[in-house]
Amino acid sequence: MSGGRRASAAGVALMLGGAGILLGVAAVPAQAAEVSYKTECIPPAASGLGPVEGTTKVEITAPATAKVGDEIQVVWKFVQAASKNPDLIVLPKDSVKPTGTLKASGAQTADIAMEGPQKNPEIPKGGDMVLSDMTGKVKLTTAGDVTLTPDAYTITAYSTDTKCTPQEAVPAAATIKVTAAEGGSTTSGGSTSGGTTTSGGTTTGGDTGGTTSGGSTTSGGTTSSGTTSGGTTSGGSTSGGNDGQTDFAGKTVTTSFACASPGPAKIDSSATINAKKNGGSYDLTVKTAKGVMNSPAPLPAGALKPSMVITVGGDDSGSLKVEGPANKDALNTGDPVSLGDMTGTYKPGADGKATLSPGDLTIVVTLSAGSNPITIPCKATKTAVSLELDVQKQAGGVSGATTSGSGSSSGSSSSSSSSGGGLAATGANDHGGLRALGFVAGTAILLGGAVFTFLPRRRVR
């Protein structure tokens, strides 16, 4: 019987000892304290906005006591972020990620890397910004009082970073009383522990790995067997009037685009214009390079809708517009992104040979249901004739008429980036206008460099 009691006692002791090992720091009483401080936030450069100020309130939770050699975990909770969601869009669930630095000082100095998960509820237009709790670890090396003070932090959404730094002395949020380990002497020198000075994730994927340039190999619209060699005209350019031909395949031509802010500086792609005769008019289908970019963030179905101006030359003149459908399927981070085939009608306005060339490109982006669309215009800086047709003049034909093209869309783009709803607002010094998050209007939303800095995949040949 006594042996059984001794065995039971031993088992309890083992269990308690194991619990102590498992609990570790958690067994030490925790403390939590809230501090607030003036904060300056720098929106992404693409937003074109200068520094603005707001107020950050955070709560730091850490053990009240610990021993030298302990590795402790610290929690940073945002009581109030220095921004609100802009009136422009509804932020989807799990689209915002915080990272930051917590400074340890006193008996030991260290920069503790803090990181929170990309986890948030759906945030309505004008709603309070909800950021996840950040955690970090530090190994204690020196006996004495170690104080913890919040420092700079970064808010990442759709692969754009808004960097926020204190603009006044921040009070310490917690103090840990560190005692020497039992049976050991106090470590001198106050050196920081390994791994606590570097940030484990202050930037997110989507803004790295985009070092390759150019676009992907083109799809569809290959040159037909009747292509004239060495010339600027494409195969299938003969008229369908006398021989009954109705389908005309254009050649694939290399294109480049320069986009207005917040679009990318340059896009390299390709385009093919195909035509099908329909009475005296021609139904056009324009194909662009596929998979020329990667999506840096989840995008819903219907988020991207393209259009392009087709320039008419030769014996005819003017321009017309073709439009493509929005993306049918939702996109995950890293998925290749392609624009749908764009269609429109060409009605000749003159007799003779008419040439068709890709022109300015426009992408309209709608990030969530009910949000205001963001229009990004891109001017064609390199193009060539893709298709030549023998045409006959039709009443109401295109000759001399031009479409507004992407030029008419630039105002929409600029208004999105400059309006008060374009960036996050705060109740700070800026009449509620702290534009702290540039992921809306400051986000590059376009082919090749876009939807929130799409990254090119392969160079078009």
How does pLDDT run across 375-408, given as a tens digit for each residue? Answer: 888 899 999 999 999 999 999 888 766 665 444 3
Name the residue with higher pLDDT: 47 or 68: 68
- Is it the case that residue 280 has pLDDT exceeding 80? yes
Residue 8 identity:
S
- Is it the case that residue 353 has pLDDT exceeding 60? yes
Q: What b/e string do you get for 121-157 counting C-beta neighbours within 10 Å, with b at 16 or more?
A: eebebeeebebbbbbbbbbbbbbbebbbbbbbbbbbb
Nearest-Å Rg of the Cα atoms of the chain is 30
Q: Residue 45 has what DSSP assignment? A: G
- Is it the case that residue 129 has pLDDT exceeding 60? yes
Report the chain's mean pLDDT, rounded to a whole number: 72
Name the residue with higher pLDDT: 365 or 270: 270
Give the pLDDT confidence of 79-91 residue by residue, as tens digits. 998 877 666 667 7
What is the model's pLDDT at position 315?
95
What is the model's pLDDT at position 243?
62
| CA–CA distance, 269 with 213 (Å, rounded to integer) | 10
Give which of 405, 417, 340 is closest to 377, Cα–Cα: 405
Question: What is the mean predicted confidence (pLDDT) over 436-444?
Answer: 37
Question: What is the mean predicted confidence (pLDDT) over 194-220?
Answer: 37
Residue 423 identity:
L
Name the residue with higher pLDDT: 162 or 396: 396
What is the model's pLDDT at position 440?
39
What is the model's pLDDT at position 430?
38
- Is it the case that residue 54 has pLDDT exceeding 80? yes
What is the model's pLDDT at position 436?
35
What is the model's pLDDT at position 133?
96
Spatial neighbors of 106 by CB under 8 A, at least 6 apart, are 144, 145, 146, 147, 175
Q: How confident is residue 213, by pLDDT bands cut at 50, 70 and 90? A: very low
Q: Is 405 helix (H, G, I), strand (E, B) or coil?
A: helix
Spatial neighbors of 378 by CB under 8 A, at least 6 apart, are 257, 258, 259, 260, 263, 267, 360, 361, 362, 363, 406, 446, 447
Question: What is the mean predicted confidence (pLDDT) over 114-136?
Answer: 90
Of 220-229, 296-305, 343-352, where does mean pLDDT reach its minimum?
220-229
CA distances from 442 to 42, 220, 277, 370 (A): 11, 33, 43, 19
Question: What is the mean predicted confidence (pLDDT) over 250-269?
Answer: 79
What is the model's pLDDT at position 126?
76
Q: How confident is residue 33, by pLDDT bands cut at 50, 70 and 90? A: confident
Most confident of 104-108, 295-299, 421-425, 454-458: 104-108
Question: What is the mean predicted confidence (pLDDT) over 63-78?
Answer: 95
Question: What is the mean predicted confidence (pLDDT) over 132-150?
Answer: 96
Q: What are phi and psi of 25, to 5 degrees?
A: -65, -30
Residue 60 identity:
I
Residue 43 near residue 262, CB atoms below 8 Å? no
Question: What is the mean predicted confidence (pLDDT) over 42-63?
Answer: 81
Question: What is the mean predicted confidence (pLDDT) over 283-290?
Answer: 92
Asked if residue 262 has a cis previous peptide bond (ω within 30° of 0), the answer is yes
Give which of 200, 206, 284 is closest to 248, Cα–Cα: 284
Question: What is the mean predicted confidence (pLDDT) over 339-356?
Answer: 95
What is the model's pLDDT at position 369?
73
Name the residue with higher pLDDT: 437 or 263: 263
Of 288-302, 362-376, 394-408, 447-461, where does mean pLDDT reach its minimum?
447-461
| CA–CA distance, 207 with 232 (Å, rounded to integer) | 39
What is the model's pLDDT at position 429?
41
Quote the tokens at residue 388. 């030549």
Residue 149 near residue 111, CB atoms below 8 Å? no
Give which of 282, 252, 451 is closest to 354, Cα–Cα: 282
The label of the residue with tokens 């000892």 reads 17
What is the model's pLDDT at position 180?
93
What is the model's pLDDT at position 83?
75
Q: How confident is residue 103, by pLDDT bands cut at 50, 70 and 90? A: very high
The label of the residue with tokens 């003159």 reads 350
| CA–CA distance, 354 with 390 (Å, rounded to integer) | 6
Q: Residue 11 has what DSSP assignment? A: H
